[in-house]
Amino acid sequence: MVSLLPIRGRVMENKLVRGKWIVAGSGNGRKIIKNGAVLIEDGTIRAIGNYEKISKEYRYDYELGSEYSAVIPGLVNSHNHGRGLSAFQGGVSDAPLELWLPDLFNSYETDIYWDTLLAAFNMISKGTTTVLCHWCERDPADPMYREDLEKSISAFLKSGLRVAIAPVIHDQNKYTYSDESKILSKLPGYMKEEIVSNVEDSSRIKKYFHTITEMKNKYCQNEKLTFQYGPNGVQWCSDDLLVQIRDKMTQNKMRVHLHLLETKYQREYSKQHFGVSTISHLEDIGFLGENTSLAHCVWLSTNDIEIISQTGVTCIHNPSSNLRLYSGIAPILALLEKDVKVALGTDSTALNDDDDIIQEMRLCWLLHRLPNIRTRGITSSEILDMATTHGATAAGFGDLIGGIEVGKKADMVLLETRRAIVPYLSLRIPPLDFLLQRITHDDVKTVIVDGHVVYENGLHRDCDPANIVAELRKSVKESPSKKADAVTRLKQLLKEHYENEELEEYQIKYKYNQLT
């Protein structure tokens, strides 16, 4: 039986959203309105205030929420790869990034439409209303590139999510950061053939830019969908490619999103290749600005943070992924100290392998409590800014969404608070602290995007999760054993390579406590 949300919410009626708490505004202007209401008209927030007052003053077609609801802005997952079937489920066990990627590139295939739709459904059902998808399901060399990108786009549109898609591109060092040909030359020829593409980079890159322009033009009427450039990372892209992207960004008024300094080996790459840090190099080639967002940012230096702060870049914190892939812990307190905009993303590698942005917020809240009574932690309000306002900026929707404010688009999530309050909640606990500490994705009751109810009480407006799961399962194909053997051999070679490169200065950078 197909389970869909009833007809309510399909047309653009005026709605009144009621809540025990309305989490309105953002940053220093954030306030909690008790026994509040939000009036949504034509998908836009028209009024916010006391429930009795707003319900008398305005006309509306129906009411959502109750005196037990907490109404928060829609959450933004600012770095995700749109994978419904996680890498782990596809056979890629957690490992240090450099040994994880070769498996990821060669492990399994799915039907992109169902894969994206499941990812989108998972995110919506856990309170995400906007995603910045660093799309890497296909390489431009793949004959199905354009078709599969469109499949992902149509799945996102079907899901109702607001989405920014930044298709990934690289033109060097697919498997390592230096001496790639030297390492690959140690593979027997038949193994190399299994995992190395023979398509010329210039034609791949031409196709990449052409496809993005084509998609941008095709979907330019859709306010909920935007495109960004998505270079994979500095070590994977030549300067020539980065400069081309920089010029296209200016020319086409577009944003750019990339991985940055996820591991210590990437930091070392810049030192060896540019003689300066990755951030200094990006600044030198004019790549940093308010239209740039950088995922991970684990291995920044103090000077890098200064440059990031001055250039207005948004950093995206991916705590789960950084833990799972042995990357380290990003210096988020130091970034906040310099007023850097920090957003949050699951990187399709969340703690429970389920793209749960609420849990990512909690992990971020807890992770940066240093063992020192002089150092402050991150406040619950800052965490909410990361998952809303700054995420909206990273995704390129900063003018439209990011907070429950009059004039903004109505993207919001209604959380049912009763389960988390039982048996009692002291009035001494601030509401935002309570939400961050005790709410889980099971408490997500209603999700509204652009004024439309897309999810309520476990049902989606247009998608049946059981059907998505069945279709996706049918489409999964694991890689043939010849390819898997080649990857295993390559990983052995890479492990030896990195073990030889291991630098003493990085080994002593971080410890859980003062072991002596």
Residues near Zn ion, by CB under 5 A = 347
Contacts of 515 (CB under 8 A, 6+ apart): none
Q: Rounded to the nearest whole angstrom, what is the least distance from the CB of residue 134 to Zn ion in the complex?
A: 6
Q: Which C-beta is closer to Zn ion: that of 80 or that of 388?
A: 80
Q: Which C-beta is closer to Zn ion: that of 236 or that of 434?
A: 236
Q: Which C-beta is closer to Zn ion: that of 38 or that of 258?
A: 258
Q: Rounded to the nearest whole angstrom, what is the least distance from the CB of residue 210 to Zn ion in the complex?
A: 24
CA–CA dist 483, 192 (Å, integer): 9
Strand partners, 413: 72, 447
Read off φ and ψ for residue 196, nearest 5 degrees: -115, 130
H-helix or E-strand spanning residue 386: helix 380-387
Q: Which C-beta is closer to Zn ion: that of 16 or that of 132?
A: 132
Task: Provide the token pair at 310.
Answer: 């001055």
Q: Rounded to the nearest whole angstrom, what is the least distance from the CB of residue 259 to Zn ion in the complex?
A: 5
DSSP 136-175: -SS-TTSTTHHHHHHHHHHHHHHHT-EEEE--EE--S-SS
Strand partners, 412: 73, 448
Task: Provide the token pair at 106.
Answer: 């060669």
Q: Which C-beta is closer to Zn ion: that of 21 or that of 265?
A: 265
Query: Beta-carbon neighbour count of residue 3 at 10 Å?
Result: 12
Q: Rounded to the nearest whole angstrom, what is the least distance from the CB of residue 313 to Zn ion in the complex?
A: 17
Q: Rounded to the nearest whole angstrom, what is the least distance from the CB of residue 270 to Zn ion in the complex?
A: 18
Q: Rounded to the nearest whole angstrom, what is the least distance from the CB of residue 355 to Zn ion in the complex?
A: 12
Query: What is the tally of helices (H) and strands (E) in the chain?
Result: 21, 21
Rg (CA), the chain: 23
Q: Rounded to the nearest whole angstrom, what is the least distance from the CB of residue 41 to Zn ion in the complex?
A: 38
Omega cis (within 30) before 423: yes
Q: Which C-beta is closer to Zn ion: that of 86 or that of 380?
A: 86
Q: Which C-beta is closer to Zn ion: that of 48 or that of 350?
A: 350
Q: Rounded to the nearest whole angstrom, what is the least distance from the CB of residue 130 to Zn ion in the complex?
A: 17
Instruction: Say if CB 215 and CB 153 are below 8 A apart.
Output: yes
Kind of pairing between the strands at 128-133 and 168-169: unpaired
> What is the SS3 assignment for 77?
strand
Instruction: Say if CB 120 and CB 131 are below 8 A apart.
Output: yes
CA–CA dist 394, 164 (Å, integer): 9
Read off φ and ψ for residue 33, nearest 5 degrees: -95, 115
Residue nearest to Zn ion (CB): 347
Q: Rounded to the nearest whole angstrom, what is the least distance from the CB of residue 306 to Zn ion in the complex?
A: 25
Q: Which C-beta is closer to Zn ion: that of 347 or that of 416?
A: 347
Q: Which C-beta is closer to Zn ion: that of 110 or that of 320?
A: 320
